[in-house]
Structure 1
Amino acid sequence: MIDQTGGADELHIAEVPDPIRINDEVIVRVVAAGVNPIDAKTRAGRGVAAAIPSYPAVLGADFAGVVESVPYSAHPLQPGDRVYGMGRVPRVGGSYAELIAVSSLGVTRMPTTLSFAEAAAVPLAALTAWGAVVDTARVHDGQRMLVHAGAGGVGHFAVQFAAYFGAIVTATCSASNAEFLHELGARRVVDYTSERFDEVVSEQDVVIDLIGNVKDATGSRSLDVLRPAGLIVSVPTGAWPAMAEEAAERGIRSTGYTVAPDARTLSVITRLIDDGAVRVQLDRELPLEAGAEAHRLIEAGHVRGKVVLRVAPDPA
């Protein structure tokens, strides 16, 4: 938890009361929690920090664990079920904890082919990728799509969803991740350390921007690779404030994207994972006590896939 916003060392272990279940909520005993850039931004005082109602605050949006209690006896989920999902942090306490209260609309049974740690790496990143690629960009066969930061948490799912639905995918990454992205379905990979993507890529229908203008004007330069009336979907919060104006001046469509806890879509993603159509990349698993280290890794970038915190041992 954090007692105030600030650096990564603000994260520390302490005791808080158990969450109280209300209405449609499910109480889940957390086994593993995903670590996402929005967690680090919020801890630092950005992100959704302004909505933290009081301190101490428990961070963490997504989780994998075991159902502890449900709203009523005939509920589709039952105590003991292995589930994963995401909550509305900081409206409620987060997943960096032994217990989380989450709306039943945001939790579903986890893939049978994944460990708890792997499952915790999925919900927020995969739902974000699905929302950007499938719901917003309307991915389809033959669509030309550029995905920035393709090896990251959201990026590696975005590449796979785009390729699964028939898009011609180009992705940016460092040289060490090129083979990995080809394996995920990228037709072309641009090593940003040796090439400028806007000099070698053109006539894209869609750009999935997972960087914005916080590094090397990636967002603004992306406008140069889109066809007229193409679409840029920029995901990071606060990373490119002038996007709409810049895109409009160029005749480019633009939008941000904000993920929602959606168990129905997560259930579709679960089937793709269990069928072997989508794989989950776990960069590393750290103990809950190493929350500060996890945040520093996220803030430094260059993570392949996701970082996960181990909250409890796997249940028997």
Structure 2
Amino acid sequence: MDSRPSTTMQAIQLQNPNGTAALASKETPRPQPADDELLVRTHAAGVNPLDWLICDGHLRQLLDEPLPWIPGWDISGVVESVGADVSGFEAGDTVYGMVRLPGAGGAFAEYATVKPHEVTSKPARLSHTEAAGVPMVGQTAFHALFEEAGVDADDRILIHAAAGGVGHMAVQFAADAGLRVIGTASERNEAYLRELGVDEFIDYRNQRFEDEIEPVDVVLDAVGGSVLERSAEVVRPGGVVVTLPEQPPEPLVETLQREYDAEISFFSVTDDAAPSTLQRVTERIDAGAVEPTIRNTYPLSEAQTALEKSATGHVRGKLVLTVEKDE
């Protein structure tokens, strides 16, 4: 029997830019780490809207590699080997992180190469499956609250889509920091969100949040569109609205800031994410203050199904692809 290591791996590839139906599981060459890279054996990979958005032809600037393309940015796994110039890691280390963003990801595969600054030690209290659900949403929520909005312990915060990927992490960060948390979601998520730390709940399908709440200090808007404009109405003078889905037009920002005396801030995870933020997220996880909700898991071969589920926009917490048996 040949004991030499395989030079190939299974990976999910987008064959053409015609949507998630163009995804296929293929045997591909195993990547080789450069001198400044790690090779990680993937145990689990998180699913994010970026994955299906790119498959559907959006955000093409992130495709810095030609098709076929391997999606995925969130990864949790074990270091297989380290490049000659890498220090601080060795084979066998368990790591997780958000890799190659901005740029083509590569996490939906049995192996991926990453830069050392893109990963950190996996929290011991989380399995690989749980850890894979953290990096993108955890960093986004943390950055939006503590760096963009600069929240204080006595603030009141309104979090839209509070049961979603970013939202459910933001609720926990805010509650742990002592904020009074108001969350919008569908009625079926009320009990879940109250367990996470929501003090006031608004069923967005049957209630208009601007008719239900007193002015707040901060709004975290993971919905966009008219919700951004309506959110500016409920922010106290001098408060902050952090919006995530897309860059609002500058004339709209100027109008809202002038009319409501509120700061309108846009945070783009694709352009502004700082890998160092993940370490701060990890500290909160290690302290037991934050824990990801993994709604469903799928084997790597069912990536298309997972991305289509994500695209519905009605997922509680996160979806994760499992590649190796969890620990």
Give TM-score, length-normalised by structure 1: 0.92
Name the structure 1 match of 2:10. Answer: none
Give distance in 1, aligned partners of 2:63 and 2:293: 31
Task: Determine if contact 1:33/1:62 at 8 Å carries over to the other structure.
Answer: yes
**Deviation by residue 1:280-306 (Cα, 9 ceiling, x = unmatched):** 100000011111111111111111100
1:198 equivalent in structure 2: 210
Amino acid at match of 1:300: T
Rg larger in 1 or in 2?
A: 2
**Is 2:31 the counterpart of 1:19?**
yes
Moved more, 248-257 or 116-125: 248-257
Deviation at 1:38, TM superposition (A): 1.3
Which range is displaced more, 86-95 or 60-69? 86-95
1:166-315 equivalences in 2 (<5 Å):
166-213=178-225, 217-237=226-246, 240-241=248-249, 243-250=252-259, 251-259=261-269, 262-314=274-326
1:163–1:169 Cα contact (<8 Å) kept: yes
List per-residue Cα deviations over 1:171-204 (Å, max 9, x = no partner). 1011111111111111111111221111112311
Deviation at 1:169, TM superposition (A): 1.1
Cα distance in 2 for residues equivalent to 1:50 and 1:91 = 5
Q: Secondary structure at the match of 2:147?
A: helix
User: Equivalents in 2 of 1:69, 1:311: separation in Å?
Assistant: 18
> Structure 1 residues 245, 15: closer, same or farther in 2, change over 3 A?
farther
Q: Per-residue deviation at 1:16?
A: 2.6
Supply the distance in 1 between the matched residues of 2:28 and 2:206 (Cα, whole angstroms): 49
Cα RMSD (Å): 1.9
Q: CA deviation at 1:92?
A: 4.4
CA gap 1:146/1:93 in 2 versus in 1, 3 angstroms: closer
The aligned residue for residue 139 of structure 1 is 151
Contact 2:210 2:234 (8 Å CA) reproduced: yes
Structure 2 residue corresponding to 1:79, chosen from 87, 91, 95: 91
For 2:241 and 2:60, locate their aligned partners in 1 and report how far apart those are by CA, in whole Å: 23
Alignment correspondent of 1:62: 74
Aligned AA for 1:110?
K
Distance in 1, Cα, partners of 2:16 & 2:62: 12
- After the TM superposition, which of the residue ranges 57-66 and 83-92 deviates more from structure 2? 83-92
Partner amino acid, structure 2, of 1:247: L
Which one-letter code corresponds to 1:229 in the other structure?
G
**Gap runs ≥5 in structure 1:** none
The amino acid that maps onto 2:160 is: H
- The 1-side partners of 2:190 and 2:249 are apart by 30
Q: Percent identity?
A: 39
Structure 2, gaps ≥5 residues long: 1-12
2:5 corresponds to: none
Task: Tell whether the 8 Å contact from 1:173 to 1:192 is kept in structure 2 after alignment.
Answer: yes
Cα 1:193–1:156 change in 2 (3 A) is same
SS in structure 2 at match of 1:15: strand
Where 1:160 maps in the other structure, the secondary structure is helix
Residues 140-159 of structure 1: CA deviation (Å, up to 9, x unaligned): 11111111001111101111
Report the Cα distance in structure 1 between the residues aligned to 2:148 and 2:94, rounded to whole angstroms.
30
Matched residue SS, 1:58: coil
Q: Does the CA-based 8 Å contact 1:220-1:246 persist in structure 2?
A: no
Find the partner of 2:140 among 128, 145, 148.
128
Q: Which letter does structure 2 place at the counterpart of 1:255?
A: S
Runs of 4+, deviation exceeding 6 Å: none
Secondary structure of the structure 1 residue equivalent to 2:296: strand
Q: Is the 8 A contact 2:36 2:86 kept in 1?
A: no
Residue matched to 1:155: 167
Q: How far apart are residue 135 of structure 1 and its match?
A: 1.1
Aligned residues: 311
Deviation at 1:264, TM superposition (A): 3.4
Q: Distance in 2 between matches of 1:237 and 1:39?
A: 16
